[in-house]
């Protein structure tokens, strides 16, 4: 008999990608599984999920506005309305289970599923659990986590260390270095750093690289610089014509596998999805956690690696003075590079999507 499963959450690529990866794994293992997504109206999942071939229903739910308390007046009403709609969706779809991956929509959907006595599953991507997931975890059948020590937040007997689902195409870098270097128009004989602020870009990283270009060029270091579409036009206007051949500025990276394959050292933010990919890549990493995320998740994610000598961390507030110096120092220390690459690789959990999908299917059967 075909299983009917709802997956909810979104808001950012860090939530949407794992959700789609779990859906794909469920379909691979049990092709007749019927899957429905539930997201938040106006958020990127409403476009990304249909593009991946799945149906999605939107709830009118938003997060707490921490800047203006007045804007939260309608929140309880929106929550009740979303829970009522979630109940309708669960009943009409005849769902057997609900999986929450984080993001606004997973709260009302999983709360309602719990109230209706349906088995629920949580995929917690960060090393520090969010408020909603902590509440939902009390009744979840299984909490799939990416870090050790999560029994601080969830019942220990229901935690499963799975890792975060990753984009398999992005981490398939074996034997691609030369091909990748040529694709970027760089020199195979030179050392290369990849700087990525994610799809939206990161102002701090962009400022650091812009100011550090003379020092990086003087050291013979090539840069693949993914600055984000939001910042690209301004940077192109300011420095585009003066950029040396060894600095490749681009709004986003079509081929993440090439970027990872070309790099000797990687500089990135510390989002959960990014870190999971970096562990599988197994190259030396400098993390600059974003300060603009709830509960300072990214710093906690980065520290989990730093404690295991698996990454270097530079605080966002200190990056403008320290980041380029740190890149140059690491580029000159091949022993440190090898050690960091070795330690981060030990943390890799490449098959999270399949492990989670199998667990969900097993527990539904029971």
Binding residues: 12-14, 126, 167, 199, 298
Distance of alpha carbon 364 from alpha carbon 157, whole angstroms: 18
Distance of alpha carbon 315 from alpha carbon 266, whole angstroms: 16
Q: What is the 3-state secondary structure (H, E, C) of the chain?
A: CCCEEEEECCCCHHHHHHHHHHHHHHHHHCCCCEEEEEEECCCCHHHHHHHCCCEEEEECCCCCCCCCHHHHCCHHHHHHHHHHHHHHHHHHHCCCEEEECCCCCHHHHHHHHHHCCCCEEEEECCCCCCHHHHHHHCCCCEEEECCCCHHHCCCHHHEEECCCCCCHHHHCCCCCHHHHHHHCCCCCCCEEEEEECCCCCCHHHHHHHHHHHHHHHHCCEEEEEECCHHHHHHHHHHHHHHCCCCEEEECCCCCHHHHHHHCCEEEECCCHHHHHHHHHHCCCEEECCCCCCHHHHHHHHHHHHHCCCCCEECCHHHHHHHHHHHHHHHHCCHHHHHHHHHHHHCCCCCCHHHHHHHHHHHHHHC
Cα maximum dimension of the chain: 65
Annotated binding site for UDP-N-acetyl-alpha-D-glucosamine, which residues?
A: 12-14, 126, 167, 199, 298
> Among all chains, which residue has been given the structure tokens 């993390």?
287
> Contact at 8 Å (CB) between 168 and 24?
no
Distance of alpha carbon 342 from alpha carbon 306, whole angstroms: 13
């Amino acid at each position: 008999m075909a299983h009917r499963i709802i997956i909810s959450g979104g808001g950012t690529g860090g939530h949407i990608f794992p959700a789609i990866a779990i859906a794909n794994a469920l379909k691979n293992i049990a092709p007749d599984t019927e899957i429905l997504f539930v997201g938040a109206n106006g958020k990127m999942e409403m476009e990304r999920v249909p593009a991946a071939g799945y149906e999605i229903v939107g709830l009118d739910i938003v997060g707490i506005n921490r800047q203006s308390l007045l804007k939260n007046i309608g929140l309880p009403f929106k929550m009740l309305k979303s829970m009522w709609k979630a109940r309708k969706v669960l009943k009409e779809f005849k769902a057997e289970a609900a999986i929450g991956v984080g993001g606004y929509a997973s709260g009302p959907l999983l709360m309602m599923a719990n109230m209706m006595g349906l088995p629920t599953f949580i995929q917690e991507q960060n090393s520090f659990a969010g408020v909603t997931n902590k509440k939902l975890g009390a009744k979840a059948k299984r909490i799939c986590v990416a870090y050790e020590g999560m029994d601080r937040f969830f019942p220990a007997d229901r935690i499963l260390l799975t890792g975060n689902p990753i984009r398999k195409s992005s981490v398939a870098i074996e034997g691609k270095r030369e091909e990748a270097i040529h694709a970027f128009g760089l020199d195979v004989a030179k050392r290369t750093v990849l700087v990525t602020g994610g799809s939206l870009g990161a102002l701090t990283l962009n400022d650091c690289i812009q100011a550090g270009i003379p020092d990086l060029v003087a050291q013979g270091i090539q840069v693949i610089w993914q600055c984000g579409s939001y910042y690209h036009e301004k940077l192109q206007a300011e420095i585009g014509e003066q950029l040396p051949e060894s600095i490749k500025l681009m709004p986003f990276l079509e081929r993440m596998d090439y970027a990872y394959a070309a790099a000797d050292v990687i500089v990135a933010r510390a989002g959960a999805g990014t870190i999971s990919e970096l562990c599988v890549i197994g190259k030396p990493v400098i993390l600059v956690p974003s300060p603009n995320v709830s509960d300072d998740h990214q710093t906690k994610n980065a520290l989990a690696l730093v404690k295991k000598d698996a990454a270097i961390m530079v605080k966002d507030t200190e990056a403008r003075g320290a980041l380029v110096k740190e890149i140059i120092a690491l580029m000159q220390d091949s022993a440190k590079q090898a050690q960091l690459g070795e330690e981060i690789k030990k943390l890799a959990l490449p098959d999270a999507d399949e492990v989670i999908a199998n667990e969900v299917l097993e527990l539904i059967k029971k």
